[in-house]
Chains A and B, each alone.
Chain A
Amino acid sequence: KQEVTQIPAALSVPEGENLVLNCSFTDSAIYNLQWFRQDPGKGLTSLLLIQSSQREQTSGRLNASLDKSSGRSTLYIAASQPGDSATYLCAARSSGSARQLTFGSGTQLTVLP
């Protein structure tokens, strides 16, 4: 059964820093991996989706990478801003159950002004 882990659970950085959020998964037979942002009391906003055949995806200041062999994905945020403060979740879609996502518990990011 797929398990997804995100470490650390919380992270505080000063504004302007570049930062990396980590996501690891136990079953490398994934179909794709998706990164989400969740603001307090809100739903999830999709940030990036990486297919299993891809190594990375970029959107603005965000860059997500995928290394299936090591079971890891990273979300790189460049030049962080206070508005980036939120919880970031990753979710893996395993090949065996094509429409089900397995979520990590998230990293709560605080960017200090």
Chain B
Amino acid sequence: DGGITQSPKYLFRKEGQNVTLSCEQNLNHDAMYWYRQDPGQGLRLIYYSQIVNDFQKGDIAEGYSVSREKKESFPLTVTSAQKNPTAFYLCASSSGGTANQPQHFGDGTRLSIL
């Protein structure tokens, strides 16, 4: 089945630790996105990438980093600089070319602080 796989489902971070969230897609989509969702709120864009080896900051990029070395993969690192990392993180992808294609989402990773 084609889709987006996020791992792990649950992740715990210790003080001062960097953690990396995985996102892999087999939809052959050019564009990939990372969102953060806090309880009772909508999603906020962290980073997005339209093509391999290129990415842009979203609205809340501080304390996060990404890479896009392969079309299928867009990992997100939550660094120790992110002081409030507890949230639900969602990865999405869409086909490239134009912006009129829907975004498809993974099942998310829930990150908590120990």
Interface residues of A (CB under 8 A from B): 4, 9, 31-32, 34, 36, 41-46, 49, 51, 89, 91, 93, 98-106
Q: Is the CB of A46 within 8 A of B108?
A: no
Interface residues of B (CB under 8 A from A): 4, 6, 31, 33, 35, 40-45, 48, 50, 58, 90, 92, 94, 98-100, 102-108, 110
Q: Which of B50, B92, B99, B106 has the most CB of A within 10 A?
A: B99
With A31-B99, A46-B104 as contacts: A103 and B90 at CB distance below 8 Å? no
Q: Which residue of B lies closest to A34 (CB)?
A: B102
Q: Is the CB of A41 within 8 A of B110?
A: yes
Q: Is the CB of A101 within 8 A of B100?
A: no
Q: Give the shortest distance, in Å, between A108 (CB) and chain B (any CB).
A: 9
Q: Is the CB of A103 within 8 A of B108?
A: no
List chain A residues, Cβ under 8 A from B103: 34, 46, 101
Question: Which 7 pairs from chain A and chain B are nearest by CB?
Answer: A103-B42, A98-B99, A43-B105, A44-B105, A103-B43, A46-B102, A43-B107
Q: Give the shortest distance, in Å, between B48 (CB) and chain A (any CB).
A: 6
List chain A residues, Cβ under 8 A from B6: 43
Q: Is the CB of B90 within 8 A of A43?
A: yes
Q: Is the CB of B31 within 8 A of A99?
A: yes
Binding site of A, secondary structure by majority: helix, strand, loop or mixed? Answer: strand
List chain B residues, Cβ under 8 A from A4: 42
List chain A residues, Cβ under 8 A from B110: 41
Residue from A9, A93, A100 within 8 A of B40 (CB atoms)? A9
Q: Which residue of B lies closest to A5 (CB)?
A: B42
Given contacts A43-B106, A46-B105, A91-B43, 9 further A-B contacts (CB under 8 A): A43-B4, A43-B90, A49-B100, A49-B102, A89-B43, A93-B99, A99-B31, A99-B94, A100-B48
List chain B residues, Cβ under 8 A from A101: 43, 45, 103
With A4-B42, A99-B31, A99-B48 as contacts: A44 and B99 at CB distance below 8 Å? no
Q: Is the CB of A32 within 8 A of B100?
A: yes
Offer 26 A-B interface pairs, CB within 8 angstroms, sorted by A.
Answer: A9-B40, A34-B103, A36-B105, A41-B108, A41-B110, A43-B90, A43-B105, A44-B43, A44-B90, A44-B105, A46-B103, A46-B104, A49-B100, A89-B42, A89-B43, A93-B99, A99-B50, A99-B94, A100-B48, A101-B45, A102-B42, A103-B42, A103-B44, A105-B40, A105-B41, A105-B42
